[in-house]
Structure formats: C-alpha cells, structure tokens
Structure 1
Amino acid sequence: MGQREGSGAGHIAAFAGMALIWGLTWLPMKIASEAVPPIFLAMIRFLLAGLCYLAFILARGLPLRMEQPWRVVVASLLITTGCYSLLFWGVARAPTGLSSIVNLSLMPIFLILVGSLYGQERVTPRRLGAIALGVLGLVMLFSGRTGAAQDGALLGLAAVALATLSYAWGGVVSRPLMQTMHPITLAFWETSIGALGLIPVSLLVEGYDPAYFAGLADGRAILGLTILVLGGSLGGFSIYLWLVRDWGAFQAGLYSFVSPVVAVAVGVAFANEAFGWPEALGMAVMLSATALALTEGKRKAVAA
C-alpha cells in the first residue's frame, strides 16, 4: 500500500522541525540541571506540560475520561516517572550527544524485546541481529569511558539506557489505551500522573530545599524548561502524532536517525563534548541496529 495522503512539503518540513526540536532538547536539559537538581527539573517540566495539555483539552472540548485506570497509572509511572527520573539524572552526568544516541537507538530494540514478552511483537532473525548490533554499539560507546575520570559519564549513560527500557515498557503497556482514548487525553494523564510520581523520587534522591524553587528563576532553568515544555513536550509530540496519523509509525520514527546527529553536533559545538572515532563507530553501529529494527517494521507493514 502506498504512502498516505499528506507526504508533501508541509509534512516534510514538519518532520524536519520535529527532528530538530528533539535533537535540540538534550543540551538545554543538561544546562538547566546546573541550576536545579535534574529530577526536580523533570518534575517541574511535566507538571507544566500537564497543565498545558489540560488547557488544550478544555479549549478543544476533548473527553477527559480515563479508560482502564490501572493501566494508565502503570504506564505513567514507567513512561514519565521511571524514564525521566533516570534520563534527566543520567544526562546531567553524561555527554548529551552520546545520551541521545543511547536513548534513540535503543528505543526500537527495547520496544521489540518488551513487546515480545506481551505478545505484541515477534523476535525474528532480523530483529535478533538488531539487538546484537545494539549491544555491540553500547559496548563500543562504554568501552571508551572507563577509568576514574569517566565513572560519572559511564553511570549516566547506564541510567539513560535504563530510562529507555522504562519508556519502552510503558509504551507497550499503554498501547491498548491508544485504541480507546484520544492521544492528547492519554498524554495528559500519563504526563500528570507521572509528574506526581516524580515528587517522591526527587525528595528521596535530592532532598528538599527551598533554593530549588528559587533556582527556577535562573536563566538556564527558564531556557531549559521553555524548550523542553513548549518544544519537546508540546511542539515535537504534537507533530509526531500528526505524522503517525498521516505517514504511519515507520516514517514518523525515522527521526531516530536525525535527532542524535543534531544532539551530537550541538554538544560538540556549544559544550565542547568529546566525539572521536570510537564514539562515531559506536554511533554508526547503534544506528545500524535501529535501521534493522525499523526496516523490519516497514517490511511487515508492506506485507500487510
């Protein structure tokens, strides 16, 4: 079956904008974490994003009803609380470019692995190859970051990998909800419930200090939250939903090849992050794993 209607210049421009936005969010996330603790930052981001989603829902008259509440809660704790507590904590300690590579390259692989446990996906030989390449790419990225000076970065990248697993698990859990709830309504509940879950995590890990709220007035926090909430959560996600509807999940998911390149370029240019041949080879291997995973999905869609 051919492409759906809506593959013109407007959709291509929207795709480029989405990939650019999601590639640009990594460095502001790290910079904002210099002003306030990272998990506290994630909590504020998703509380603000939840309020924005609610305003949109009320303005458009969308239904607020929550279907299968237990499933929504579990998905929210995995997608928002589990993923972003680990992701923000990890990015605060690791280079943003490598963090984006680990996150975006592992996502389709973890979706396959977790989906197979729930009977939603099949582990085919092609997908086994993607998993093997993904593991090899991770080893290559991590191998250059051993030693005392790199312990923090290594731990940060490991947290990013666990964050990706948490998000993929939550995505699989929430997949049936997409058939019964409006995507913006689902995004509101998963964002808001997950943000509430981030409150005790932040208190346990980072403690409470009134200075955290004062830090939100810091220019770094304001810039980071503006880009993360308006750009990442609202702009990028809205474009993604639109493209999934008109293009399908495969083509919309190709941002996984563009956003890491943007994040690496921004990290090298503006944060002097190291990126040599070992990192480039690891990136190439991991993006090859992503290509294998995504082309399997495309092949199945064409066959159907």
Structure 2
Amino acid sequence: MTSPAVDPAPETRPAAPETRTAAPAAPGRRITGAVWAALGIVYVVWGSTYLGIRIVVETLPPFLSGGARFITAGLLLAAIVAWRQGPAALKVTRRELGSAVLVGLLLILGGNGLVVLAETSIPSGLAALLVAAVPVWVVLLRTALGDRPGLGAFGGVLLGFAGLGVLTVPGLSGEVKIGGVLLVLVAALLWSVGSVSSARLPMPANPFTASAYEMLAGGLAALALGLVRGEHHGLDLGAVSGRSWAALAYLIVFGSLVAFTAYAWLLQSAPVSLAATYAYVNPVVAVLLGALVLNEALTWPILLGGAIVVGGVCLIVSTERRG
C-alpha cells in the first residue's frame, strides 16, 4: 500500500487526500511542467509499490522486510528533516507523539503490513484494486463521525462495493486464496481509520516530522510482530535473491521518500483535487505492471471489478472537488 512517506499503499501525512475538500485554484494558477513531473512520480512510483512488495516477499518474510523498510525510511526522513530544518523540527509534544504512533500503527502495521502479508498469496494487481476502495471506507467513516458527504460520494460508495464484490470472485472460486483477499479488505479498512484519525488527532504540525514518527512506530511494530511470528527462524540472508533486495531498496528510497516528497510538494503547488487523482491512477498502473513484469493474469473479475472500483473512486474524488 502506498501513502505519503509510506507505501500506499502506501505509502502517511498529509493523510488521505480523498477526505479533503479541494480549495479552488488561485486565479491565473498554471499547471506547470514541474507539477506534471511530480504528478507523474506519484502516479508511477506509488502504483509500482505493489509490484515491489510482491517481489520482496518472494524471498524475504513479510513483516520483517516491512519493518526494515519503514524503520530505514523513517530514520532517513528524520535525518533529512534535521539537516534541512534543524533538530528542533523533530520536537513534538507527548500528545502529538502519541497520535503519530497510533496513526503509524494503523497505517503501516495494519494497512501496509497486511497488504504485504496478503501479497504472499494473491497477485499484486488484485491487491492494488482492493486497496483502491479506501475512499469508499473513508466516506462511510466520515458519515459515522457526523460529516455529510454529497450524494455523489454515496453513489461512489455503492459502485465501490459492487466492484469489491466482483473482485472477491477469484477468492470465492478458488483462483486465489480467499484469506489473502480478506486480509487486503481489512488492511484497507485500517488504512482508512488511520487516514481519518490523522485529520482529527493532535498531530505534529510538520508533516515530514509526523511521517517520520509514523514510519518508525509502524516499522518497529512490524519488526516485533515478525519476530513473534517466528519469521527469523530459518531465515538465510544469503539465500535472498538480488531482485528482492533491489525491490526493498526501491521501496525505501522511491516509494517512501521520493514519492512522498513529490506529493507533499504537490499539495502546496497544485489543487488538492489534482493531487487526489492518484487514488484512481495507482491501481491501473499496478495492474499493468503486474501483468507485464510478473505475468499476472488479467481475468474478467479483475478487469470488470477493477473498472467498477476505479469508477466509484473517480465519482467520490470528483464530488470532493465540487464540495
């Protein structure tokens, strides 16, 4: 899964642009070449993280590799923040730290971690399409908390659930493990809870600082869970393939640092509604890369269900733009 500074999936702050209402662009604001370049990075790099995860877990255990990824990325981001803005930029209150830790556990351990575990048994493209329904869960959570999304958003929710129903067919028919499908659905729900919570909790004012603490908290928790699961037993680092190491390095540098920096810059330099389009471009990129690189089958449930989910997400995001 990508999120700002995380995967999603995933990679964390600012959280879930699909939950925000876009402010209208300032008069005369032009979409520059730099904006399109940053948008391209977010589209391609975040979309490719599902492929990267699938390659990593070919020879590395899921939670230990995920923990190593986010601990490394969190330390690197914290070092960059201290270098560029001074060590004081990393200071937070106890409440802010607690909030960042909670959000990190929800997004990274729950959201991203379960996706990594699921990708040991299901195709990366299917995982990406199931995660694409995060805006659907976000709308429902916002409604439960008293927000009133528009009718278009609820139409997108209905479309999204219809698409999810189609996407579960491979699991129900035995083509893939249903357990993997259910893990991703739970991961998407936890990711949504974390995204909504991050907008309501007293988070660090600096989004890069918040993301560093979230990644460290989630990474340490993933590492601990991997040890509890016994993933270290029989682990021979010498037997890990070169492509798994390369994919892990790619996820740390590009998935967790480069794409997040591009996204954070986009939020300051372009309309939020434009940045939010990653929500329905990433899964398309992930499906195409899975088919091209790993020869993952493009079955009718994946194509049809994916198209329905992306359509629902598109409707939700477009509704948020007009809000």
TM-score by structure 2 length?
Answer: 0.85
Look up the match of 2:171.
145
Shift in CA distance, 193/139, structure 1 to aligned 2, threshold 3 Å: same
Aligned residues: 295
Amino acid at match of 1:110: W
Within the alignment, does 1:208 sit opposite 2:236 as a pair? Answer: no
Give 1:138 deviation, angstroms: 0.7
Look up the match of 2:109.
81
- Structure 2, unaligned stretches of length 5 or more? 1-22
Distance 2:321 2:174 in 1: 43
Distance 1:283 1:268 in 2: 14
More helix by share: 1
Query: Is 135-144 or 205-214 further displaced after alignment?
Result: 205-214
Look up the match of 2:282.
259
Q: Do the aligned residues in 2 keep the contact of 1:39 with 1:84 (CA within 8 Å)?
A: no
Give 1:281 deviation, angstroms: 1.2
- Structure 1, unaligned stretches of length 5 or more? none
User: Among 95, 100, 124, which residue is 2:150 paired with?
Assistant: 124
Look up the match of 1:108.
135
Shift in CA distance, 171/125, structure 1 to aligned 2, threshold 3 Å: same
Within the alignment, does 1:269 sit opposite 2:292 as a pair? Answer: yes
Amino acid at match of 1:58: A
Give 1:207 deviation, angstroms: 3.8
Give 1:202 deviation, angstroms: 1.3
Amino acid at match of 1:221: S
Give 1:249 deviation, angstroms: 2.7
Q: CA RMSD in A?
A: 2.0
Q: Do the aligned residues in 2 keep the contact of 1:109 with 1:130 (CA within 8 Å)?
A: yes
Within the alignment, does 1:38 sit opposite 2:62 as a pair? Answer: yes
Q: Do the aligned residues in 1 keep the contact of 2:100 with 2:204 (CA within 8 Å)?
A: no
Distance 2:181 2:270 in 1: 32
Give 1:280 deviation, angstroms: 1.4
Look up the match of 2:318.
295
Distance 1:234 1:250 in 2: 22
Within the alignment, does 1:29 sit opposite 2:53 as a pair? Answer: yes
Give 1:275 deviation, angstroms: 0.6
Amino acid at match of 2:144: L
Shift in CA distance, 56/85, structure 1 to aligned 2, threshold 3 Å: same
Shift in CA distance, 10/295, structure 1 to aligned 2, threshold 3 Å: same
Query: Is 23-32 or 40-49 further displaced after alignment?
Result: 23-32
Look up the match of 1:250.
273
Shift in CA distance, 166/179, structure 1 to aligned 2, threshold 3 Å: closer
Amino acid at match of 1:236: A
Distance 2:154 2:43 in 1: 27
Q: Do the aligned residues in 1 keep the contact of 2:125 with 2:288 (CA within 8 Å)?
A: yes
Look up the match of 1:71.
99
Query: Is 285-294 or 72-81 further displaced after alignment?
Result: 72-81
Amino acid at match of 1:168: S
Q: Do the aligned residues in 2 keep the contact of 1:36 with 1:212 (CA within 8 Å)?
A: no
Shift in CA distance, 134/2, structure 1 to aligned 2, threshold 3 Å: closer
Q: Secondary structure in 1 aligned to 2:133?
A: helix
Q: Could you tell me the percent identity over the aligned residues?
A: 27
Shift in CA distance, 212/188, structure 1 to aligned 2, threshold 3 Å: farther
Distance 2:33 2:98 in 1: 41
Distance 2:234 2:180 in 1: 26
Distance 1:13 1:178 in 2: 32
Q: Do the aligned residues in 2 keep the contact of 1:64 with 1:185 (CA within 8 Å)?
A: yes
